[in-house]
Amino acid sequence: MPREYKMRKRADDWQKTRERILQATMQLHDEQGVAPTTFSDIAKRAGLGQATLYRHFPTLGDLVQACGGHVWQEMQPPTAEGAAAVFEGLTSVDERLEKLVEEIDAFYRRGALRLHLAGRDRDLIPALDYFLRAVEAGVGAYVEQALAPAKPPKRTLEVVTALMSFPVWQRFGQLELTERKSRELTLRLIQCAIRAAAGI
């Protein structure tokens, strides 16, 4: 006859080691990138045996995905659900665009390192590609929400979204501008892009 186990303490320990694995993994990913990080690297850093890792995360994909959850919480990316609230109360398109630039710029700043590293390996690791697609969708939703009052054509949204994308932000970040001036420049480019997109 089978016994009924509850294993409260065991479940706690399980969660603790899971957490240790995730912390070690994120540390290493930040230091050396995702793709070059090996299972034995992680086991060593976490002070665990490799077998333990495999029990918790059978494949690399599972591990990266679990990290994704943590990272998502830490950098709070824009989401379609949160978009409406962000622009609440802002009536003019100019105000809304300013808010858009502010929000996305702040997001890219706090996520810069990880977005860069994820971008490097997205072709190799599907979970990273999935993550970045979600981020891009969130940015797209913000853009759409910001411009909603103007009822812009689809192409305008796409162009502005491209301008607000991480690769573009990253390249413009290489210019030695203050945060303030950088946002100002982005804002003007967007306003111009809206007009340009309508004309082509």
Partner DNA sequence: AATTTGGCGGACTATCTATTTCACGGAATT
Partner DNA sequence: AATTCCGTGAAATAGATAGTCCGCCAAATT
Site for its own copies in 57-116 (CB under 8 A): none
117 and 111 in contact (C-beta within 8 Å)? no
With binding defined as CB under 7 A, does residue 38 bind DNA? yes
Residue whose CB is less far from DNA, 8 or 195: 8
- Out of DNA, its own copies, none, what residue 59 binds, judged by CB under 5 to 8 A for its kind, is DNA
Single residue of 27, 30, 39, 98 touching DNA by CB under 7 A: 39
Kindly identify the residues of this chain, within the stretch 43-62, that bind DNA according to CB under 7 A: 47-52, 54-56, 59-60
The 3-state secondary structure of the chain, one letter per residue: CCCCCCCHHHHHHHHHHHHHHHHHHHHHHHHHCCCCCCHHHHHHHHCCCHHHHHHHCCCHHHHHHHHHHHHHHHHCCCCHHHHHHHCCCCCCHHHHHHHHHHHHHHHHHHHHHHHHHHHHHCCCCHHHHHHHHHHHHHHHHHHHHHHHHHCCCHHHHHHHHHHCCHHHHHHHHCCCCCHHHHHHHHHHHHHHHHHHHHHC
Query: Does residue number 154 form part of the binding site for DNA (CB under 7 A)?
Result: no
Does 65 help bind DNA (rule: CB under 7 A)?
A: no
Q: Which of 24, 43, 115, 197 binds its own copies (CB under 8 A)?
A: 197
Contacts for 128 with CB less than 8 Å, ≥ 6 apart: 34, 64, 118, 121, 122
Binding to its own copies, residues 24-53 (CB under 8 A):
33, 36
168 binds its own copies (CB under 8 A): yes
Task: List the structure tokens of 129.
Answer: 């590609």
Q: How far is the CB of 124 from DNA (least distance, A)?
A: 12
Residue 26 Cβ vs its own copies, minimum distance, rounded to whole Å: 19
Q: Which of 104, 151, 172, 179 binds its own copies (CB under 8 A)?
A: 172
CB 152 within 8 A of CB 65: no
Minimum CB–partner distance for residue 21 and its own copies (Å): 25
> Can you read off the two tokens belonging to residue 56?
């918790």
Query: Which residues here bind DNA, judged by CB under 7 A?
Result: 2-10, 13-14, 17, 38-41, 47-52, 54-56, 59-60
Query: Which residues here bind its own copies, judged by CB under 8 A?
Result: 33, 36, 120, 123-124, 155, 158-159, 162, 165, 167-168, 170-172, 174-175, 177, 181, 184-185, 188-189, 192-193, 195-197, 199-200
